[in-house]
Structure 1
Amino acid sequence: MDLPHQGYRATKPRARAAPPTGDSVLFDDTSSAAPGMNSQGFYAPGYNIGGPSNDMQGGVAVNNLFTDPMANAAMMYGSSLANQGKDMVNKEISRFMSVNKLKYFFAVDTKYVLKKLMILMFPYTHQDWEVRYHRDTPLTPRQDVNAPDLYIPTMAFITYILLAGMALGIQKRFSPEVLGLCASTALVWIIIEVLVLLLSLYLLTVHSDLSTFDLIAYSGYKYVGDGYYVALAWSSCALMFFIVRSLKMKILPSLSSDSMGMGSSARPQFRLYITVATAVFQPIIIYWLTSHLVR
């Protein structure tokens, strides 16, 4: 009988043990303990761990939130603050950009437009320049030809842009960039003019019922007299006369109202300077905006 090689020992093959039964099981089978759990004890993908009980608990929590008096009071207080903030924002916007005021300046008809254009081109024959009121409210432009409007300035501004494009096209200098530059330059000059007027009235403490829309309207009338040389001279003189007579009723109150304390604290010559400067400034802007179109 051969002896086994040195360094090796003969071993018997181990027999497989039968799975334990009864109380000797070390780990319980939890595959059927909870729905949605696989044989390894993990939840299957897509299974809602919270289950319907969590949804019911969430619904109960939301219901409790709405039925809580403190929560209701807090929500009502927050809603009140939001409404107050909205009202304040709308009030501040309406001071400078009121829709009702804007509608007033566009309340025109054909008869008014024809009369106003005649006054703009031939203001020397017009006698009554006073703006009429009804219960402390100025009449609409269609009811009073002396009332300022924004319809004619807007149409005149658009006409100016179209004529500028036509003039540039005749001179073979047209391009969308140049036309856009003309429009933006004209718009910026109106903004600058209105801001200068508002600042001048504020610094000189001139109290009047002139609004921002009024100043935009009077500044926009310059685009009615588009033309050059003879037409420029005529329209400039007519426009200066129109501006002086129109603003005289607004910036230059009567001496009787000053004596009664209804006028401005600024001296009359300062108010006269603002009126004349506004009128003289109009032909300068007309020349600046049209000189490059005629070459």
Structure 2
Amino acid sequence: MALPHHGHRATKPRARSAQTGDPLLFEDTSSGVPDMNSQNYYESGYSLGSGSVGGPGPGGVNNLFADPMTNAAVMYGSSLANQGKDMVNKEISRFMSVNKLKYFFAVDTRYVMKKLILLMFPYTHQDWEVRYHRDTPLTPRHDVNAPDLYIPTMAFITYILLAGMALGIQKRFSPEVLGLCASTALVWVIIEVLVMLLSLYLLTVHTDLSTFDLVAYSGYKYVGMIFTVLCGLLFGSDGYFVALAWASCALMFFNVRSLKMKILSSLSADSMGAGTSSKPRFRLYITVASAVFQPIIIYWLTAHLVR
């Protein structure tokens, strides 16, 4: 019996599926680049511009925005945003009028200079009546007697900066002290305005004064406070008290003459209608008390800054 030769092994020929024609179980993707000319490539859902799941092209973006549900969602979101904007504007209008607030900031450089001179030297001013055009008061830039909020706002900021400088010179500066100084100055104005509004309401005084008017007249004291602190820093305590007396007298004179056209305008009419009514006298007391109260606030807010 002959043994097989050890140098050769008996092998069976491999059956190639390509030769036998059997279908492939998996596609050959070893090359990494799909065959663009193959019909199976387009049939698999990877076609360009079709917007299909396999590969979203430019057509997919267009189909996304052309979707009726997407358009409805965008329109609904826009309507919600518009409704929210209208609600916010309505709530703001309940507490303040934006157009009226713009009126108090309608100033120019010429008005600011004339108003500052009037606040510090009011004794030579003759005409204190606010001018009107078709039942509408002229803007501050056209009438120096009109109240504004630009000068009180800028004066308040300047006062806070000056207070910080004064505290720094005296080695007493700290954010807490400066914050307390700013909040105290703001709270005093709020209290003063609330007291004025309550007094006018209790006495049933019908005037043209609005809340913004009272804030403006109360905020003019910051100009005198800046002048007082500067004089105290430059000339010591003697300069401080001289500036305090001047600023207080000027502010009292300014407030009495300005508020006289508003609060005391109906004195004669009420006296004729009520005989010897005491309400006109109370209105006079309100005007004088508001003016006399200004030096006390100025001293309270500036004395600790000058030593």
Q: Identify whether the pair has TM-score above 0.5, normalized to the shorter chain.
A: yes
Q: Matches of 1:194 and 1:255 in 2, distance apart?
A: 22
TM norm structure 2 = 0.64
- The residue that corresponds to 1:277 in the other structure is 289
What are the superposed Cα offsets for residues 12-63 of structure 1, whole Å, 9 maximum, x if unpaired?
xxxxxxxxxxxxxxxxxxxxxxxxxxxxxxxxxxxxxxxxxxxxxxxxxxx9
Corresponding letter in the other structure for 2:295: P
- Secondary structure of the corresponding residue to residue 252 of structure 1: helix
Corresponding letter in the other structure for 1:236: S
Corresponding letter in the other structure for 2:208: D
- Secondary structure of the corresponding residue to residue 142 of structure 1: helix
1:127 aligns with 2:139: no
- The residue that corresponds to 1:242 in the other structure is 254
**Which 5+ residue runs of structure 2 have no aligned equivalent?**
1-68, 73-78, 229-239
What are the superposed Cα offsets for residues 248-283 of structure 1, whole Å, 9 maximum, x if unpaired?
00000155544787xxx9721011010001001111
Q: CA deviation at 1:98?
A: 1.1
Residue among 263, 281, 302 paired with 1:251: 263
- The residue that corresponds to 1:110 in the other structure is 109
Task: Label 1:136 to 1:88 Cα distance change in 2 as closer, same or farther (>3 A).
Answer: farther
- The residue that corresponds to 1:73 in the other structure is none
1:182 aligns with 2:172: no
Q: Is the 8 A contact 1:157 1:223 kept in 2?
A: yes
Q: Is the 8 A contact 1:205 1:266 kept in 2?
A: no
Residue correspondence of structure 1 range 144-163 to structure 2 within 5 A = 144-163=143-162
**Which 5+ residue runs of structure 1 have no aligned equivalent?**
1-62, 67-78
Task: Label 1:199 to 1:142 Cα distance change in 2 as closer, same or farther (>3 A).
Answer: same
What are the superposed Cα offsets for residues 50-94 of structure 1, whole Å, 9 maximum, x if unpaired?
xxxxxxxxxxxxx9xx9xxxxxxxxxxxx9xx97x9979855642
Task: Label 1:92 to 1:258 Cα distance change in 2 as closer, same or farther (>3 A).
Answer: farther
What are the superposed Cα offsets for residues 181-212 of structure 1, whole Å, 9 maximum, x if unpaired?
10011111111111111000000111101111
1:268 aligns with 2:280: yes
Question: Of Structure 1 and Structure 2, which has the larger fraction of its residues in helix?
Answer: 2
Question: What RMSD in Å do the two structures reach over aligned CA positions?
Answer: 2.7
Q: Matches of 1:210 and 1:266 in 2, distance apart?
A: 21
Residue among 221, 231, 244 paired with 1:232: 244
Give percent identity, aligned residues only. 88
Figure out how many residues of one structure are paired with residues of the other and give that number. 215
Q: Matches of 1:242 and 1:250 in 2, distance apart?
A: 13
Segments ≥4 residues shifted beyond 3 Å: 85-93, 254-261
